[in-house]
A and B are shown apart, each in its own frame.
Chain A
Amino acid sequence: MKRNYVLSYKAENTNEPVIWRLIKDFDLQVNILRAKVSPGQEGSLLVEIDASEAATMDKALCWLEQQGIKCMGVAKRIFWEEKLCVDCGACTGVCFPAALAMDKTDWKLAMDLDRCTACGLCVKACPFGCFRLDFGD
């Protein structure tokens, strides 16, 4: 099972080799998609975690919480203000994980949050300011 998470580091745990521990101790595949981590400062890491079993993923997430690292699914970090949307589709051309796509029958914008990698390209591409990305900024 693959999931995208934003890991929010506190200043005190930016020096911990967290990703190494996830791979070594929990046998996870971790792909870093975006990172904003500096020693001694709060930071965020966008990762795709692939676990063979749901239980392993749960254990790893539990361990992260114990380390004081908040772990949140990407779906909770991207906001689409649907009432501003006119379904133009300008965002879909820049969304490579295809989280944003036009429904080819009614040409309404459809969003699949599980696919979102929080790249933020949609934020600038939308002419109506429909998207907001919270990446711990």
Chain B
Amino acid sequence: MSDKTKSWEEINAKLAAGEAVVVTAEEAALMSEECTPKELAKKVDVVTTGTFGAMCSSGMFINFGHPEPPIRMEKLSLDGVPAYGGIAAVDAYIGATEVHPDMSNFGGAHIIENLVSGKEVFLKASGKGTDCYPRKGFEAKISKETINEMILANPRNAYQNYPAACNSSNKTLYTYMGTLLPGCLNVNYSTSGCLSPLLNDPEMRTIGVGSPVFLAGALASVAWNGTQFNTKKPKNKHGIPLSNAATLMLVGNAKEMSREWLRAAYFEHYGVSLYLGVGLAIPVLDEDMAYRVSIKNEDIETTVCDYSQEGHPGLLTSNYAILRSGEIELRNRRARTAPLSSLKKARELAVELKRLVLSNSFPLSPPTMAFSSNTDIKALLSMDQKGRPS
């Protein structure tokens, strides 16, 4: 091994021999107070990360199996929550934020949580009836024991940073960033800071298509970049984007997942969402990676945005050491700060992932394809009566 770099193979060999040093990202940040990145690269082989927060852009593919006589399910619901049936005969997708037509606080995330927990869910399906799928209606209780696949497939998870939220108006706002009291009385933030997966490898040198990921208790995979993937957000001097930037599309076997890391949530006047535990194990390949994984909360900055104004303009830049302190100075007043993602569970996840890596139950492998390093996002433009963007 050279003085400066370690290969994936070398780290895997050390793991197989039981000689690797694995620490959590919080432990790495602490170690960096007493050693340089160069020293850290020598001491530590793998750093584990974790987050447990609301990830609305999630959902689950289900294959129910064919009844006899068979049906081409076109419209279907699970415990009354509509699922998308426009995929073959008995495949469906239930989105986490889909809402029950009569119960605004119950939706797709609850169906996913219940199925993952082994509970029975009532399936009601209908189709027009065809020569090959003559059946027109089907009703039955299903559970994870009775159906073929439950594949969690989430278009956008694990946001690399996220703006904090406040509200300068004179009425309370109920948002996906929680309850925002008037007059900027509180600021809510939602990132596990120095434990957050994509903040520990901001250039995504070790994360890409095919990377193994801890998803809700199961060994899952990074399928692609997540939607709204953005590499062009302004960064601070530590290379950390100052607001929401990169994202991951994650896929995994929901039958192996656990309610401990997957929970349905309801945000008042907003709707249903899904809290997920996500973690990545990052190899400390060299001095640069050692510097990245030892990032501290005070060096991770984010923008505090005003959700009462159009476009949610940023009011100030803060960092996670301040946000976690419980209060922040905003417009010459003290505002309360509160997290939306659970740091306690993020820590537990990083520790669990450390255990899995050390016991060779969680593989370390390089991505099969790197993400684009030159992507930003487009706004959706409306059109005037002549069909021109307006």
Q: Which residues of A contact B (CB under 8 A)?
A: 86-94, 96, 101-102, 104, 106-108, 121, 124-125, 127-129
Contact = CB atoms under 8 A, between A and B. Distances in A.
Contacts of B347: 107
A90 to B, nearest CB: 5
A113 to B, nearest CB: 19
A122 to B, nearest CB: 9
A93 to B, nearest CB: 3
Nearest to A108: B344
A19 B268 CA distance: 35
B336 A92 contact: yes
Interface size class of B (residues with CB under 8 A): 20 to 34
A87 B340 contact: no
B188 A129 contact: no
A107 B345 CA distance: 9
Contacts of B326: 92, 101-102, 104
Nearest to B52: A86
Nearest to B345: A86
16 contacts: A87-B343, A88-B339, A88-B341, A89-B338, A92-B339, A93-B187, A93-B336, A93-B337, A102-B326, A104-B326, A106-B344, A107-B342, A107-B343, A121-B181, A127-B267, A128-B263
Interface of B: 52-54, 105, 174, 178-179, 181, 186-188, 263, 265-268, 273, 275, 324, 326, 336-345, 347
Contact of B265 (A96, A102, A124, A128): A128
A89 B192 CA distance: 12
Contacts of A89: 338-340, 342-343
A125 B268 contact: yes
B187 A124 contact: no
Contacts of A107: 342-344, 347
Closest 9 pairs between A and B when the two form their complex, measured CB to CB: A93-B338, A127-B265, A93-B186, A107-B343, A125-B179, A89-B339, A107-B344, A87-B344, A124-B268
B179 A124 contact: yes
B273 A90 contact: no
A125 B178 contact: yes
Contacts of A88: 52-53, 275, 339-342
Choose among B53, B179, B266 the residue with the greatest number of A CB atoms under 10 Å from its CB.
B179
A33 B244 CA distance: 40
A104 B327 CA distance: 13
A90 B178 contact: yes
